[in-house]
Amino acid sequence: MSTRPTGLSIRRATRRDVPTILRLIRGLAAYERLTRQVTATAAQIRRHGFGRRRYFETLICRRGERPIGFALYFFTFSTFLARPTLYL
C-alpha cells in the first residue's frame, strides 16, 4: 500500500515563482501571527534567490496546479562544529 499523496509535485523554483514564494512566506507569517515582521519584497527575493549570486534555493510543492507549500534553504558553515550545515 502506498502512502504517497496523489497529485503532489515538488520542483525547483524559478524566477517566475517569486510572487508565489512571497505569497507563501506571507501566508506562513499570518499562520504564525508574525505578519508585521515580514518586510521581504519580490525584488529582494528575485535578487537574492535568482540573481548572479544565489543566497538560497527554493522548492515549490503543488497539488495539481495549485502551490500549497515551499521549502527555502541555504547552506552555511558551523564554526563550533567545523562542518557545513543546511538551514531549512
pLDDT along the chain (88 residues), means of 10: 74 98 98 97 98 97 95 96 95
Q: What is the pLDDT of residue 68?
A: 96
| pTM (2 d.p.) | 0.86
The domain covering 8-87 belongs, at the CATH homologous superfamily level, to: Gcn5-related N-acetyltransferase (GNAT) (3.40.630.30)
Q: What own/partner pairs with CB < 8 Å and gap ≥ 24 does 65-72 have?
A: 67/17, 67/20, 67/23, 67/24, 69/24, 70/13, 70/20, 70/21, 70/24, 70/25, 72/21, 72/25
Tell me which residue has cell 519580490: 42
What's the confidence (pLDDT) of residue 62? 96
Which grid coordinates are listed for 43? 525584488
pLDDT of residue 52: 95
Q: What pLDDT does 6 receive?
A: 77
pLDDT for res 7: 87
Name 84's bridge partners.
77
Which residues, 6 or more positions from 62, have their beta carbon under 8 angstroms from its beta carbon? Answer: 8, 9, 10, 11, 68
